[in-house]
Structure 1
Amino acid sequence: MPRSALCTLGLCAGLLAACGGEEPPANDTPAPTVGDLESQGQLPTLDRSAGLAGPDAGGNGIRDDIDAWIAGRQATPELRAALAQLARAYQASVVRGSQDAAAALDAAAQSGQAISCIMTHSASEAEGMQAMSVLRKMTANTRERVQAYLAYARALDGAVMAVSDKDGCDAQ
């Protein structure tokens, strides 16, 4: 077979293979954005303002968006108080924990107490772990806050802390 015929045959075979066959067309519906999910109530609306602290109109050491998330949870008053305690501790770890080792240790001690309190008042270990994970993600929700949280974690590198055998809850 002449060389030009082989090239033509190869080109045709390649074009036919590229046609793809009978696969259904791809879904052209765009994926929902974070803003869409927030406006639909499927995700909490989070503060993304500049700065580490964010708005705290109540002055309780908890960002307003996280305060609203805690208030909206179907939980016992004791668990909501424990979540607020951990939210304050996580906020301290982001805002002050990266300043020096002493501030980081103080924030870590607060977090440890709050975690004990959450685990005491959660219906299950999984529920407590999930709530802690969500709070941490909500607290470190901007690049600046993530970097501060990582600096806090670096400041704790090698630290040893005692864990209380009490429930860890702040006095109510």
Structure 2
Amino acid sequence: MTIIGGHKLPPEPDPKLNNATLLGIDVNNNGVRDDVERWIYQTYDHPIERGIFMQSARAYQKVIVDPSKAKDTMKHIDNSSDCEGYWRYWKILPKFKDKNESYVLDRYRDLEKEISVIQFNTLQRHMAYRRFNSALSGGVYGATGISKEKCEFDENGILKDLP
């Protein structure tokens, strides 16, 4: 058993079994595939960074669960983006600066690209993501509002349960 930052990682899934299905293996049932969860915790050191990636991974997992529900799933993608935006942009503005928060996400990182490599790592998962994007085609989607309240993780970067 591996514990990182107070978070108990699921066991490493067998790649053949994990990649044999679209959704893969999620033994702790937190909405993030175990291989992705382990990658996040072994790749990123800061709890906020881990939280941002875990929230994004959970949102993208919802994308591949049912790409035809893309418009419903967008709220999870939006929440993830709005949370990321808080730690990337608004967090540095004086009126939002919290003396207890020192973490700021690098403005020039492409988090979607970083997570996509592991999240959509099979042809089947990549094609589900393409179907999701296709279902959104032609729509107009506005920003929902950058906010720390959109973050679905605690100060330790551990995902909260969704209502």
Equivalent residues of 1:112, 1:163 under 8 A apart = yes
Aligned partner of 1:141 in structure 2 is 121
Does residue 162 (structure 1) correspond to residue 106 (structure 2)? The answer is no
Quick check: which has more Rg, 1 or 2?
Answer: 1
Distance 1:120 1:166, change over 3 A: closer
How many residue pairs end up in the alignment? 122
Residue aligned with 1:125, SS: coil
Residue aligned with 2:108, SS: helix
The amino acid that maps onto 2:75 is A
2:42 to 72, 75, 81: 72
Aligned-residue RMSD, C-alpha:
2.2
Aligned partner of 2:108 in structure 1 is 126
What's the offset of the Cα at 1:169?
Answer: 1.3
Q: Which runs of 5+ in 2 are unaligned?
A: 1-12, 89-104, 155-163
What's the offset of the Cα at 1:171?
Answer: 5.9
Q: Which runs of 5+ in 1 are unaligned?
A: 1-44
TM-score, normalisation: structure 2: 0.66
TM-score, normalisation: structure 1: 0.63
Equivalent residues of 1:46, 1:65 under 8 A apart = no
More helix by share: 1
After TM superposition, what 4+ stretches of structure 1 lie above 4 angstroms from structure 2?
Answer: 45-48
Distance 1:72 1:46, change over 3 A: farther
Q: Percent identity?
A: 27
1:89 to 41, 54, 59: 59
Greater length-normalized contact order (CA 8 Å, ≥ 6 residues apart): 2
